Amino acid sequence: MFALMAEYEAALIKERTLAGLAAARARGRTGGRKPKMTPALINKAQRMYDSRQFTMAEIATSCGVTPMTIYRNIRTDRATASEPSSRG
């Protein structure tokens, strides 16, 4: 009996949470952390990477993020301008 009540209460909490998130989105609020990499920083990191004068650690330090964040945000494939890229 207690398990049934707990399951019902959990379902109510979930329903109310989803309704609250939907209401916040309708008011223009978005949840989650703000991204560290702005378009300007991504452009800077890409130019540094393309120049082949900096290590990934140096690029990350100059942008104030970790190297993994740089890898997630820039193109590291060495495709030329005439080749189609595999990333969309």
| The pLDDT of residue 77 | 83
pLDDT tens string 71-87: 999 998 865 444 455 55
Tokens representing residue 18 in the block: 């989803």
pTM score, whole prediction: 0.56
HSE (side-chain half, CA atoms, 13 Å) at 70: 22
Query: What gap in Å lies between CA 7 and CA 85, rounded to an integer?
Result: 49
Query: What gap in Å lies between CA 58 and CA 77, rounded to an integer?
Result: 19
pLDDT category at 58 given cuts 50, 70, 90 is very high
| The pLDDT of residue 79 | 54
Please check whether residue 70 is in contact with residue 63, taking contact to mean a CB–CB distance below 8 angstroms: yes
Torsion sign over Cα 51, 56, 58, 62: positive
pLDDT tens string 4-52: 999 999 999 999 999 999 999 999 998 888 889 999 999 999 999 999 9
